[in-house]
Amino acid sequence: MYKTNYDSPVGQLLLTSDGESLTSLWIKNQKYYLYKIDDELIDNDDLEIFNQVKSWLDKYFNGEKIAINNLKLKPQGTKFQKEVWKILCNIPYGETITYKDIANKITKNLRKDKMSAQAVGGAVGHNPISIIIPCHRVVGTNGNLTGYAGGIDKKIRLLQIEGHDMTKFSYKN
């Protein structure tokens, strides 16, 4: 497993890779930082995937609307978590979705009778590829900005970068 760092407007980011795919992107000191990473991480700033991700991040933080489908992502998680993360990957830049909306989509995708928004929140919170798999675009049904492992201040900043009108959201500092 390899690692590199990236300085961003929301703080230092740690990127990890298996050599071909991005396996995680963590905001320094976020909740679940390095969760489930047991391998030794070797510094390597020259991996092609790291160059691609850093270029993507440069564009993102400059306000460009860029797709993630050209990046090789390999988040590690349960089948349920991966289903949730797949939904996150389809939230368009500049838009948000609620935990309840995701729960409804999961119910349909997995042919379940119901799904709790709290279970979805747990999967969203354990997203190992922050920013790129856009968990910051998930909000409460009432527009409340909750549940961001990187911190609400970082979630607010990411939504601002994407051009959101922050007056439609509620949050506590």
Q: Which residues are catalytic?
A: 135
CB 131 within 8 A of CB 60: yes
Distance of CA 170 to the CA centre of its chain: 20
Nearest of 69, 17, 82 to residue 46 by alpha carbon: 17
Please state, in angstroms and rounded to a whole number, the distance separating the CA atoms of residues 81 and 88. 11
CA distances from 88 to 30, 36, 84, 105, 122 (A): 19, 20, 6, 11, 13
